[in-house]
Structure 1
Amino acid sequence: MRTDVDSLLREIAVRLRPRMDELVDALVTSMREEVPSVWAHDDLTYLARLAAQQHVDTVLANLERGFDISGIRAPQAAIDFARRLAEHGGQITGLLRAYRIAHRTALGMVREEAAHLITDPELRDTVTMALVEGSFDYIDLTSQQAVAAFQHARDHRLQRRLMVVNEASRRIGTSLDIALTARELAEMGTEHLADCVTVDLLDAVLREEGPAPAQESLELRRIAQHSVLEGCPETLLPPGSTHSLTRGSGPADALATGRPLRHRITPADAPAWLADSEAHRPYSDDFGVHSMLLIPLWARGSPLGIAQFFRHRDAAPFDDDDLFLAQEIASRAAVYIDNARMYTQERATALTLQRSLLPNSVPRHGAVETAVRYRPSGARAGVGGDWYDVIPLSGARMALVIGDVVGRGLYASATMGRLRTAVRTLADIDLMPDELLTHLDDVVIRMQHEEGQGLDEISATCLYAVYDPVARNCSLASAGHALPAVAPTTPDGPPTYPRPVHFADAPIGPPLGLGGLPFETAQFELPEGSLLALFTDGLIESPGRDLDRGLTTLRDVLAGAGSSLEDTCDRLLDSLLPSRPADDVALLLARTRALGSDHVSTLELTCDPSMVSRARAHATAQLAAWNLDDLAFGTELVVSELVTNAIRYGREPISLRMILQSTLTCEVADASGTSPHLRRARTYDEGGRGLFLVAQTAENWGTRYTRDGKVIWAEQLLPNAT
């Protein structure tokens, strides 16, 4: 029986051999209909037909020998087809489906031939079973070999692409510089894909006008170019020059659609736009460019420009794998270019906002002489939230503020502005430094809740110091901020050099935004002429320098500081900062001044109503001593009302203090914590007009609270003040 089966199988093969082309056509037709992706590439089309021919020939030859498939090898064309399919990015499911379709079609034709040849039903079934079993075994063996070739080629392709892409990730986008990123893309392209690469960006994008306008021609600027030939002689356009793309040309279409294009360039067949382009004609005419890739640079849904890859030395034209690889590295470069563009724009906006929120000039005040500096970060992180402020307070005092918002960019700058405004508002009510930071901490926590941020999303540090030129002392509290450097002078003597410099001895509280943790005010004396240096951590910390070294340099510069605070600021920045600092820097220098006894007059009072007239007489006499008789009427009114309120509603000890500086300040202190209120008195009311009269007479007035009570103060402008 087996002899009859083998004989019939040989007979079937002999009868089918003349119809081999018919068999191949049937196989190709069925695969073309059901696996259309194979026919998208010319080389795959050729290999698919050749593989079908070799498969049919191998099967027929095997039938003629007895259908023994042990040790069978897949035809070379089938192996080549599997490899090329992998190199074109095809799927293994397509390869296996092609085998199934071919098997079904070929088996059907062989069974049909067997049915015509064999009349005995039992023998026909036996031959059919032998054909089915043998064909499945053949398909299993050959498809396994093809799949192995496919996987090997795919792994090699993916490994090559991965290596190039990894290298591109490492080499492209090393800085937030548009020109450098474009140059890195061009250099990467010439090393792995092309003989010459150019990178052009839309002029409108570089001018930050957004996407290209709809017009007949697009203006591009040559940003970078690179070639295997020295000097990049293939192009007539130098970097920085502009040229136009006509609508409908290849580069314009690629740029508009975001789809890459591949062109073969021959003398007989060159795109019309290439022949008409002054920017591209030298490529083909002078250097024999034969293949071109046009890769649009798109990022975040918008066109930025186009990268062009050319080959003239490498004889092989660009294939699909080259196209995919060029598109992958170009798309990465486009994101980096867009990041650089947005960084430049955001940095400029944030820096403008930052500078607009910082004080344009520090107020001139008798209490301190000040000098300030702000330096934005030169790092990719962008502008931060460092700030400083100098706030005049009542009683000739001055508040010195330095702070740092965690984060970078517009958000940090805007947050800085909000905190600076909050500090100024809290300073107006004359809170102690620790109380002010407690309220500022509440402000930050409220901002966190309003914006739905976590406790670590909005955070800041702040140092608030108050210098009193009358008492010659400084009170400060810190919310996570570095303490100031202090260079005191020798009391009652000229300054010595080098100055002794130390950092203020005070507790550092938690950063703002944590909530529930206390702050503490420290107080220390400062002789006249002492130097205070308030700074943010960017001044003393840097990636390449130890913190202790930064602090030492800061002390050394302050120790040798001369009379000019501006020069000292410049020396500090020159000594401590690199050309591109890694963090923002805010610096505030203050030299203390003192108000002597000839500018301050104090009178102790009791709760006796007769003290009101005594206070008026004291004020009048002091004004005469200061040659300010023109202020006598208003000052007597202010002193009378403030002392009357203290006697009526306050507690002893009560005192009157008059301070002459840029303004005339009258202060009445008592031991009560009750706060006076300005109210409107009715026509027949006997009281309620005192503070209203004070408010009308004085330029400014207010209340500040101390550990022992309160102080009500009123300021008047001097007669010659402008």
Structure 2
Amino acid sequence: MPGAPPTHVSEPGTERAVLMGRLTAALAEALTSEEVVQAVGTHVLPPFGADGLIVSVMESGRHRVVGSAGYTQDFVHLLDGIPIADNPVAADALRSQGLWFVESVADHRRRYPMLEDVAAASQKQSWAFLPMIASGHAIGVCVISFTQPHSFNDEERALLTALCGLVGQALERARLYDVEHARAQGLQRSLLPRTLPCLPAASAAARYLPAGRGEQIGGDWYDVIPLSADRVAMVIGDVMGHGIPEAATMGQLRTAVRTLADLDMPPDELLSRLNDLVSDLGEDWYATCLYAVFDPITRICSFSLAGHPPPVVVHPDGAVDMPRLTPDPPLGAAEPPFEIHQLPLPEESLLVLCTDGLVESPDQDLDRGLAQLQQILAQHAVPVFTARDEADSTRHLDDLCDTVVSALLPQHGRTIDDAVLLIAHTGAVNASDVATCILPDDPRAAGQAREFVRERLDVWGLDELAITTELLASELVGNVIRHAEGPIRLRLLNSRCLTCEVYDGSLSTPRIRHAAYTDEGGRGLQLVSALSRRWGARYLRDGKCIWTEQDIPHRTT
């Protein structure tokens, strides 16, 4: 009829071209083996009216199921790992390197009577076995199945033949990616803490989230490091960029932080050393970092920032604070000295650290993301403070991390940056567990130190440590009298271990001497080392502190 719209008749060749085009596009975007299987299930099963899919590859003479659809997990487990020789129908398809069709249960029973139980367990009635070809050889089998008997016409056979090579090439590429991705993830896991310590001053939980696509490995890191006198260091950082080189650089920085933290460096000096390390890597390397030290006796958190977002503090009543600070430039671009900030904390608080990947995206700037983070913490953080015990607190910390991540990154698979979240639950030391004594700067100090130790340990019920602690305190005070200068202060801390600290006004470095057999002195620090679990020194603005730690019998450390 004139003027009537033309009738569009779908030709088999057109349908085939459309299907192949859609599948090709989907397979081109698929990175992993799982995504390849999903693409086949989405773009191949519906056009054929099929409802079952199993994709398996050959590994060491066995079938390894890569993915499936339309089958129970029990049936998939039945097939996974069986020798190729025990699956003659798949073996026939692989041997022929061509399509292998079984169009009914009766046909299956006639040709493969030994697999009758397997066919019944599959709950399918017909099958197409597609050997997947890549680089000129078969790498596995793709099985498309139907719950009703199905006869394959010439068009379907031609189309499935074309799919064999297409899916095989995509799967081979994806499996190479899977191997490299697994190696990269293994590297990432080895560079990050396996667990975080639960310390008297802080327990912590953290989340590392790789970028949603690509190598899924980057330079974000975090750590929690125990220091002397129950102090705890917390660090979080981000090496600019993504990939294995950035992860390797992150590993160097984390190791350096651990080494420098053991030297009890203040945050500003530690970042200066890290800045030198990053600068030596070259002009194209930069990293942001926040390094904080929390002292549970003074309740002061000292920290320095190198291009990094400041910490967020949550109070027990749910109030949230974030200091408004201008960070120093990132490591590699900064010119020390770094500024050191002092943040007084309440007796109990949450200290929240994160990298910009958690709060910043192309659709949201940093300030807006930090504001959203504070709102989420205000709404969900209180249960951590009402926990019944340490285990309950740890569980609530984990739940809070999950809540924050799911709220800030609801579509994490689409993010372009990796992200880290670290939440530490801090607490103060009970005043009755700390004892301080000011000593005279003369030979009487050693005797007074011994008397003070003896009286205090009696109060704490630690008389069995009195003799050893008296010797340690006496030796440390004697070293000050002989080699340093006052004022002298002795402090004892009763926690998971017994800490004995002696403060003086000198910056001289104590060293263990190798005293000769005939020497009358020089063995003081050897004695200190032998009597204590560990000992060390930290330097203050106006002097230093020498400390020792002793295990407390019958107390969990």
Q: TM-score, normalised by structure 1?
A: 0.57
Give the alignment partner of residue 467 of structure 1, picking from 294, 300, 309: 294
Aligned-residue offset at 1:570: 1.8
- Whole-Å Cα distance in 1 between the matches of residues 39 and 378 of structure 2? 47
Give the alignment partner of residue 364 of structure 1, picking from 199, 214, 229: 199
Aligned-residue offset at 1:649: 2.2
- Whole-Å Cα distance in 2 between the matches of residues 316 and 527 of structure 1? 72
Greater gyration radius? 1
2:492–2:499 Cα contact (<8 Å) kept: yes
Give the 3-state SS of the residue equivalent to 2:25 in structure 1. helix
Q: Give 1:591-606 correspondences, 5 Å limit.
A: 591-596=426-431, 599-606=434-441
Once the two structures are superposed, residues 624-645 of structure 1 have per-residue CA deviations (whole angstroms, 9 ceiling, x without a partner) of: 4444444333233222222222
Aligned-residue offset at 1:476: 0.8
Give the 3-state SS of the residue equivalent to 1:688 in structure 2. coil
Give the alignment partner of residue 338 of structure 1, picking from 169, 175, 185: 175
Counterpart residue number, 2:342: 523
Counterpart residue number, 1:504: 323
- Whole-Å Cα distance in 1 between the matches of residues 180 and 197 of structure 2? 30
Bigger strand share: 2
2:370 paired with 1:551: yes
- Whole-Å Cα distance in 2 between the matches of residues 248 and 568 of structure 1? 52
- Whole-Å Cα distance in 2 between the matches of residues 161 and 185 of structure 1? 15
- AA aligned opposite 1:482: P
Alignment CA distance shift 1:548-1:624 (3 Å): same
1:165–1:329 Cα contact (<8 Å) kept: no
2:207–2:401 Cα contact (<8 Å) kept: no
Once the two structures are superposed, residues 109-138 of structure 1 have per-residue CA deviations (whole angstroms, 9 ceiling, x without a partner) of: xxxxxxxxxxxxxxxxxxxxxxxxxxxxxx
Counterpart residue number, 1:60: none
Identity %, equivalent residues: 34
Which ranges of structure 1 fall in alignment gaps of 5 or more residues? 1-158, 205-210, 226-230, 232-237, 255-260, 266-272, 449-453, 489-494
Aligned-residue offset at 1:688: 0.5
2:501 paired with 1:645: no
Counterpart residue number, 2:497: 663
Give the alignment partner of residue 484 of structure 1, picking from 307, 311, 336: 311
Alignment CA distance shift 1:612-1:248 (3 Å): closer
Counterpart residue number, 1:713: 547
Alignment CA distance shift 1:165-1:343 (3 Å): farther
1:377–1:584 Cα contact (<8 Å) kept: yes
Alignment CA distance shift 1:668-1:712 (3 Å): same
Q: CA RMSD in A?
A: 4.8
Aligned-residue offset at 1:711: 1.5
Bigger helix share: 1
2:56 paired with 1:202: yes
Give the 3-state SS of the residue equivalent to 1:172 in structure 2. helix
Give the alignment partner of residue 181 of structure 1, picking from 27, 36, 57: 36
Aligned-residue offset at 1:677: 0.7
Once the two structures are superposed, residues 274-318 of structure 1 have per-residue CA deviations (whole angstroms, 9 ceiling, x without a partner) of: x95789xx9xxxx999xx996634279982445899995566984
Alignment CA distance shift 1:476-1:220 (3 Å): closer
Q: TM-score, normalised by structure 2?
A: 0.71
Counterpart residue number, 2:206: 373
- Whole-Å Cα distance in 1 between the matches of residues 547 and 68 of structure 2? 67
Q: Give 1:35-74 correspondences, 5 Å limit.
A: none
Give the 3-state SS of the residue equivalent to 1:380 in structure 2. coil
Alignment CA distance shift 1:559-1:691 (3 Å): same
- AA aligned opposite 1:374: R
How many residue pairs get aligned? The number is 500
- AA aligned opposite 2:293: V
Aligned-residue offset at 1:247: 9.2
- AA aligned opposite 1:654: I
- Whole-Å Cα distance in 1 between the matches of residues 359 and 37 of structure 2? 35
1:212–1:303 Cα contact (<8 Å) kept: no
- AA aligned opposite 2:179: M
- Whole-Å Cα distance in 2 between the matches of residues 665 and 315 of structure 1? 82
1:178–1:337 Cα contact (<8 Å) kept: yes
- Whole-Å Cα distance in 1 between the matches of residues 307 and 364 of structure 2? 22
Aligned-residue offset at 1:397: 1.7
- AA aligned opposite 2:56: L
Give the alignment partner of residue 132 of structure 2, picking from 269, 290, 296: 296
Counterpart residue number, 2:354: 535
Give the alignment partner of residue 574 of structure 1, picking from 403, 412, 436: 403
